[in-house]
């Protein structure tokens, strides 16, 4: 029977690997690492615990996952990285453990993290996100399901990026990006709905038209924040619209960064 672990790999005796896990040449897997079935670990990858990896993930050569956070507040407390199923984590991606006792950096299911992506401490990446090459996520960034981040951009700590949003390449993201929107430029601005992504998602036409109306209210009407939210409520109660309204409200809570503005005099906050 062909062995699934290369003889040059270094695996701590306390590591828990499902028998179907494949490990490439010179990979290093520390103690307190648990890896689920049919996951593939590439050559020279370094996995340090506490780290939990689910099933059918592919981790490419040179990735470094589970190292201590790059955070001066970290004092050696127990924290971890959790990774779900069916993720592609490409070459030289780095994913740090969380800061805070019992806290975690979390990667969900079906995500693609391209080469040289950095995921900082306490980040959350939900499901089916695509993060292109050389994107740097600072600590506590939250990426909702289906978001798309183009290459060579930075995301400020504590920023939230909404579901099915699209961020253009080389954009500086220092405030929250609402769901379904397209953002690009320096300084970054909301340009339109993420029209291509929404159409590809198979969203019903009626729901798509409601989001178009919501965009016009938020970024073309010059309404203040309170009045714009009241207008959104009149559009209906589709799942997408309710999620958009909830995201906008939460963006104003203490500890959040506020909203990326539109191109002109558009609603960005409660001011």
Res 82 pLDDT > 90: yes
Q: What is the mean pLDDT of residues 166-188?
A: 96
**Other CB atoms closer than 10 Å to residue 206's CB: what's the count?**
9
Res 267 pLDDT > 70: no
Give the model confidence (pLDDT) of 191-249 as tens digits. 999 999 999 999 999 999 999 999 999 999 989 999 999 999 999 999 999 999 999 99
d(CA 221, CA 266): 7
HEC assignment per residue over 206-239: HHHHHHHHHHHHHHCCCCCHHHHHHHHHCCCCCH
> Contact at 8 Å (CB) between 33 and 49?
yes
Cis upstream peptide for 187 (omega within 30°): yes
**Other CB atoms closer than 10 Å to residue 222's CB: what's the count?**
11
Res 265 pLDDT > 70: no
For the chain, which residues make up each domain, given as ranges? Answer: 10-143
Confidence (pTM): 0.96
Identify the pLDDT of residue 1.
40
Give the model confidence (pLDDT) of 150-159 as tens digits. 999 999 999 9
Give the model confidence (pLDDT) of 96-150 as tens digits. 999 999 999 999 999 999 999 999 999 999 999 999 999 999 999 999 999 999 9
pLDDT bin (cut points 50, 70, 90) of residue 271 is very low
pLDDT bin (cut points 50, 70, 90) of residue 94 is very high
What is the three-class DSSP state of 49?
Answer: coil
Question: Which residues are 105's β-sheet partners?
Answer: 81
Q: What is the mean pLDDT of residues 49-65?
A: 98
The chain-wide mean pLDDT, for the chain, equals: 95
Res 270 pLDDT > 50: no
Look at the block and give the residue holding tokens 């600590």: 139
d(CA 123, CA 62): 21
> Contact at 8 Å (CB) between 98 and 74?
no
Res 269 pLDDT > 80: no
Whether domain 10-143 has CATH 2.160.10.10: the reply is: yes
């Amino acid at each position: 029977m062909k062995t699934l672990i290369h003889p040059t790999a270094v695996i701590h005796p306390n590591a828990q690997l499902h028998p179907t896990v494949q490990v490439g040449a010179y990979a290093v897997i520390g103690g307190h690492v648990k890896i689920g079935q049919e996951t593939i670990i590439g050559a020279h990858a370094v996995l340090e615990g506490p780290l939990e990896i689910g099933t059918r993930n592919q981790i490419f050569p040179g990735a470094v996952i589970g190292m201590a956070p790059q955070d001066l507040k970290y004092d050696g407390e127990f924290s971890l990285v959790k990774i779900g199923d069916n993720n592609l984590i490409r070459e030289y991606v780095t994913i740090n453990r969380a800061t805070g006792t019992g806290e975690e950096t979390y990667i969900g299911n079906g995500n693609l993290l391209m080469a040289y992506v950095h995921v900082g401490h306490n980040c959350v990446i939900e499901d089916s996100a695509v993060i292109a090459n050389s994107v740097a996520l600072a600590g506590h960034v939250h990426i909702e399901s289906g978001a798309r981040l183009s290459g060579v951009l930075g995301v400020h700590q504590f920023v939230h990026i909404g579901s099915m949003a699209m961020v253009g390449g080389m954009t500086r993201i220092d405030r929250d990006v609402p769901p379904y929107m397209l953002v690009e430029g320096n300084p970054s601005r909301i340009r339109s709905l993420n029209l291509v992504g929404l159409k590809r998602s198979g969203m019903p036409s009626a729901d798509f038209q409601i989001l178009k109306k919501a965009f016009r209210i938020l970024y073309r009407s010059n309404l203040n924040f309170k009045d714009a939210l009241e207008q959104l409520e009149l559009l209906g109660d589709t799942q997408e619209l309710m999620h958009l309204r909830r995201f906008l409200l939460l963006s104003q809570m203490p500890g959040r960064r506020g909203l990326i503005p539109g191109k002109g005099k558009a609603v960005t906050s409660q001011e």
